[in-house]
Amino acid sequence: MDAADHQALERWLHVLSAGLRDKGPDLTARQTAVLLSIYLTPPPHTAGRLGRELGLAKPAVTRALDVLEQLEFVRRLPNAEDGRSRLLQRTVKGSVYLDSFAARVRAT
């Protein structure tokens, strides 16, 4: 491992440690990736589309979405174009969480 790799991993350790000390939820890497994808890429978002973008099986994305919806970080809405799927909507609570997450990343 070179110095740049060591520094990058050390920064990530500080971000993770700060997150563990916060009063917020302890999201898994998968849940965090799904949440970031919803907030950083343009909608519309569906579980199937997120699975393709992240290289994950749709059931894995659905399980992550179950937690994110329970935390009120995302909302599932009916999809008028495809009654079998749900559209994912960002929420204020999810935006506030990611603002805090971004501040932790910037602080390292």
Do 26 and 20 meet the contact criterion of CB atoms below 8 Å apart? yes
Q: Is the pLDDT of residue 1 over 90?
A: no
E strands in the chain: 74-78, 86-90
Which pTM was predicted? 0.89
pLDDT (tens digit, 9 = 90+) per residue, 10-29?
888 888 888 888 878 989 99
Q: How many domains does the chain have?
A: 1
pLDDT (tens digit, 9 = 90+) per residue, 35-92?
999 999 999 999 999 999 999 999 999 999 999 999 999 999 998 888 788 999 999 9
CATH number of the domain at 94, please: 1.10.10.10
In this structure, what token pair is assigned to residue 10? 């050390």
pLDDT confidence of residue 23? 79
Cis peptide before 43, with omega less than 30 degrees from 0? no
pLDDT confidence of residue 75? 97
Domain that holds residue 98: 3-107
